[in-house]
Amino acid sequence: MTELEKKQAQVPVPSGWDYAPAPEARDIVRIEERYGHFVGGEWLEPRETYTTISPASEEPLAEVGQATPDEVGRAIEAARTAFENGWSALPGSERAKYLFRIARILQERSRELAVLESLNGGKPIKESRDVDLPLAAAHFFYYAGWADKLEYAFPNRHPRPVGVAGQIIPWNFPLLMLAWKIAPALAAGNTVVLKPAETTPLTALLFCDVVRQAELPPGVVNIVTGDGRAGAEIVKGAVDKVAFTGSTEVGKAIQREVAGTGKRLTLELGGKAANIVFDDCALDQAVEGIVNGIYFNQGHVCCAGSRLFVQESIYEDVVKKLKRRMGTLRVGDPLDKNTDVGAINSRAQLEKIRELVASGEEEGAEVYQPPCRLPERGYWFAPTVFTDVAQSYRIAQEEIFGPVLSVLTFRTPAEAVEKANNTPYGLSAGIWTEKGSRILWMAERLRAGVVWANTYNRFDPASPFGGYKESGFGREGGRHGLEPYLEFD
Ligand code: NDP
């Protein structure tokens, strides 16, 4: 045997084309054993606590406060004091400095925040690293730019801040939703009390450290944690504006509570978006868009393209290509840099997905899941697609909020519009075609706040986002996103 042959014999022969594990290091994050509420720039020792876990391993991560009515009240008082004692009167250019500082710190600490987001929420690290964190920082940069230009944004309307904003956010994009809420509120001169979702409080709590590092005056940002009871206390409390993102059911309850109080309200609720594929589209690109539309963030996305409408002539082709592409999705450890689909956020959400998937099978749809080995511990659900779906099936009507796609067909653009609009929701839609005129024709007729053309799930802080019908009202992002936080003459 030659020297070269000897060396070659020692090299392990690859047995397959599996990806080697590529875990992101966890040690950049320091998680405290116990967290209080962040009130008036200080940590308030909580009277009650609960344990927040990692949904990928069910491992406990920290003890977190369950805010009592009294604790929520103190947070609102702190926000009121900060509003009256200087923040609202600060020149816009000064407020902008703080927002720019927060944006830069988010960028500097992005790896730490991304790892924590994936640990606590179960989303793949490549998504928290490449989507959530850059977008969260971009929102602060964007609104920092508006803080001293409100008079130009709303000429001759003399904009003034509303006061104290109570903000309640969900678990699917914890830090990004925080940025969507806090950045415009502060730019407009308001102070805030924010509650993250019960299952994902940790990045909001780490954000308190960012706030301190940016030397934001105490009380401008207050964070209380806990379940829906804490959210309900914020809504009832002495706030001037409520901003909520979450389920339509809770959104409606909040609307009832706020009715007649004079409090401002914006609601960003559920969706059941149509992703519409015409036979003249770039098919492979469309398949990528379909996959991104529904399997991004495990389908825990309010604007997920969960109803796929395929023009009949290309139905077989699309389904074949889609199934093949689904087979390449890697499901598993959220902290592995190769993972495409991470853990389901909570046991309750997993149960909900299972229940809706079972209903799809019972109603007669055909289910497909690519072969994939799911981890034993934690909450997991394989990427799933349903074919032979009728519009009346629950899987075509209800928000599943998981990696589950329903495929339906259409023949003409008019039929596609009619079917796409046949939902109580109206948050987003996607169109795949090479014809610009058809995109415009469709976009005009689709009752959706956002319509993507030849792409999906694209976000930009300069672009307003929000819904029609049961998807809520009010817009976040862009100049429109400032308006709910301002009073005018
Ligand atoms: P919720 O609407 O219950 O949660 C959203 C936020 O509201 C959380 O912070 C929650 O706290 C809080 N909350 C709950 N009840 C109240 C209340 N009565 N008053 C004020 N705040 C309250 O959504 P879920 O987490 O229960 O998810 C259920 C379904 O909602 C999902 O399966 C999905 O279909 C949909 N959803 C839609 C989202 C979207 O972006 N459109 C986001 C999240 C969910 P807590 O976390 O403790 O419950």
The DSSP code sequence of 55-72 is: TTT--EEEEEE---HHHH
Other Cβ atoms within 10 Å of 361 Cβ, number: 12
DSSP state of 199: T
Q: Is 349 in the pocket of ligand 1 (CB under 6 A)?
A: yes
Distance, CA of 401 to CA of 171 (rounded, Å): 11
Distance 400 CA to ligand 1 centre (A): 13
Q: Using alpha carbons, select from 96, 201, 154 the residue that is nearest to residue 485.
A: 154
Distance, CA of 15 to CA of 8 (rounded, Å): 15
On the question of pLDDT at 308 being above 70, the answer is yes
On the question of pLDDT at 14 being above 80, the answer is no
Ligand 1: residue whose CA is nearest its atom 38: 246
Distance, CA of 433 to CA of 334 (rounded, Å): 34
**Residue among 223, 244, 250 whose CB has most ligand 1 atoms within 8 A, to mutate:** 250
DSSP-assigned beta bridge partners for residue 274: 307, 429
Q: What is the pLDDT of residues 147-156, one digit of tens each?
A: 999 999 999 9
Report pTM: 0.95
Q: Is 281 a catalytic residue?
A: no
Q: Is 268 a catalytic residue?
A: yes
What separation in angstroms does the CA of 193 have from each of 114, 156, 161, 209, 337? Answer: 23, 30, 15, 16, 34
Q: Is 195 in the pocket of ligand 1 (CB under 6 A)?
A: yes
Distance, CA of 186 to CA of 397 (rounded, Å): 37
Q: Using alpha carbons, select from 452, 397, 454, 395 the residue that is nearest to residue 420.
A: 397
Ligand 1, residue 253: give the atom nearest the CA.
18
Q: What is the pLDDT of residues 76-105, one digit of tens each?
A: 999 999 999 999 999 999 999 999 999 999
On the question of pLDDT at 335 being above 80, the answer is yes
Ligand 1: residue whose CA is nearest its atom 9: 197
Q: What is the mean pLDDT of residues 405-409?
A: 98
Distance 19 CA to ligand 1 centre (A): 36
The dihedral through the CA atoms of 262, 268, 271, 274 has a sign that is positive
On the question of pLDDT at 197 being above 60, the answer is yes
Contact between 258 and 97 (Cβ < 8 Å)? no
Identify the active-site residue in 302, 303, 399, 470: 302
Number of helices (H) and strands (E), helices first, in the chain?
17, 19
Length of the chain: 489
Ligand 1: residue whose CA is nearest its atom 27: 247
Q: Using alpha carbons, select from 319, 306, 304, 55 the residue that is nearest to residue 198.
A: 55
On the question of pLDDT at 11 being above 70, the answer is no
Ligand 1, residue 398: give the atom nearest the CA.
34
On the question of pLDDT at 120 being above 60, the answer is yes
On the question of pLDDT at 17 being above 90, the answer is no
For residue 18, the model assigns a pLDDT of 77
Residue type, 192: V
For residue 9, the model assigns a pLDDT of 61
For residue 10, the model assigns a pLDDT of 65
Label residue 58 left, alpha or beta by phi (over 0 means left) and psi (-120 to 50 means alpha). Answer: left
What percentage of the chain carries pLDDT values higher than 90? 95
Q: How confident is the model at residue 216 (pLDDT cuts 50, 70, 90)?
A: very high
What percentage of the chain carries pLDDT values higher than 70? 97
**Residue among 168, 247, 351 whose CB has most ligand 1 atoms within 8 A, to mutate:** 247
DSSP-assigned beta bridge partners for residue 42: 39
For residue 19, the model assigns a pLDDT of 83
Tokens, residue 286: 């469309």
